[in-house]
Structure 1
Amino acid sequence: MSAVLRVGRQVRWYVRELTDEAAYDRHVAHLRAAHPETCAPSRREFERMRTDRQESDQRPGFRCC
């Protein structure tokens, strides 16, 4: 049973990294470690900031549409 759980955790980790679902968790961990006085944004605020930053990037070919 433990091997099945271990494989399940590894698959979950891989999928979260592949889809960048873990970006918010990394951001919050960074804020807590480097800037403990700063309040972490909500997940919705984080996703909005990330989307705005991606859409404002002027590099050619960076966006798909």
Structure 2
Amino acid sequence: MRSPDVNAVLAGFRGVAGYLGAVLGADAYKKYREHHEASGHTSPPLTEREFWRDRTDRQDTSPQGRCC
């Protein structure tokens, strides 16, 4: 069993990792799927591969503020 201090440190690391993942867009596909289901689309959602390809293509054709 872990000590409460170790659990607190691990929880802190998980929180930071979750925050950084959200900032970097790692959860974009998950958010897309949630939105797709909630908005009542009748067409099937894009696969994860199709989603990332479409996202990359849109960023390349219409660049917005981004670091790279």
TM-score, normalised via structure 2 length: 0.69
1:63 Cα shift? 7.3
RMSD: 2.6
Equivalents in 2 of 1:10, 1:63: separation in Å?
24
Gaps of 5+ in 2: 1-5
* Matched ranges for 1:9-28 at <5 A: 9-28=14-33
1:11 Cα shift? 1.7
1:32 Cα shift? 0.7
Aligned length: 63
Equivalents in 2 of 1:12, 1:63: separation in Å?
20
* Matched ranges for 1:1-65 at <5 A: 1-57=6-62
Gaps of 5+ in 1: none
For the pair shown, which has the larger CA radius of gyration, 1 or 2?
2
